[in-house]
Amino acid sequence: MLPIDIDAVKGFLDKDEGAALYEYALKASILGPCMEIGSYCGKSTVYLGSACQRAQTLLFAVDHHRGSEEHQLGEAYHDPALYDIEAQRMDSLREFRRTLARAHLEDTVVPIVAPSDLVARHWNTPLGLVFIDGGHSMEAALTDYRCWAPHVQRGGWLAIHDVFPNPEDGGRPPYEIWTLAQASGLFEALPLIKTLGLLRRL
């Protein structure tokens, strides 16, 4: 299914979650291109992009590539290999591009290097699937949800990563936007696949 060894790609996506993303991106591609909010080094991009490539559509991958809160210097998920010493900032773009090249997805994935709210200001293309896995602060998660959920076509899919119903298991913002989507009346949720929430646009 995948063109490279997914274990060799930096990231935090479980294989069962990745397989579900592949499956639903393949279905959603009938409706339109797919969108990923938060690419990091490209693990989820490989799953989504491989499905889009098979369906002969595109995956837009939005990330500022400066890392989320937890990736910064001194934080729990900081990776020194992704730290740009000269700029004194995180920079995952080079590793992301290497992943795309190794996976032969450069003709399918369109990287957009910018904050998601900036991109959303002028976005007009209806989407078959939107996958939200950007910053996990409440502000970042709400912004991604409010900016991108409206672009999911009817019959399409909204996917949210790191949904933890039990607050002892992980951060709450992805769970909060998952519940907001259901309360909106616009989305119907499927059972969670580990921490991946999938919702169908009604």
Dist. CA 24–CA 36, nearest whole Å: 13
CB–CB of 157/186 below 8 Å? no
Tokens of 77: 């998920």
Kind and range of the H or E run holding 117: helix 116-120
Dist. CA 200–CA 165, nearest whole Å: 19
Residue-level pLDDT, tens digit, the chain, 202 residues: 798 999 999 999 999 999 999 999 999 999 999 999 999 999 999 999 999 999 999 999 999 988 777 776 666 667 677 667 776 778 899 999 999 999 999 999 999 999 999 999 999 999 999 999 999 999 999 999 999 999 999 999 999 999 999 988 888 999 999 999 999 999 999 999 999 999 999 9
Active site residues: 136
Query: Is the overall model pTM greater than 0.85, yes or no?
Result: yes
Pairing of strands 59-62, 197-201: unpaired
Domain ranges of the chain: 6-201
CB–CB of 94/100 below 8 Å? no
Dist. CA 111–CA 155, nearest whole Å: 25
Dist. CA 44–CA 10, nearest whole Å: 10
Dist. CA 199–CA 202, nearest whole Å: 9
Asked if the 6-201 domain carries CATH number 3.40.640.10, the reply is no
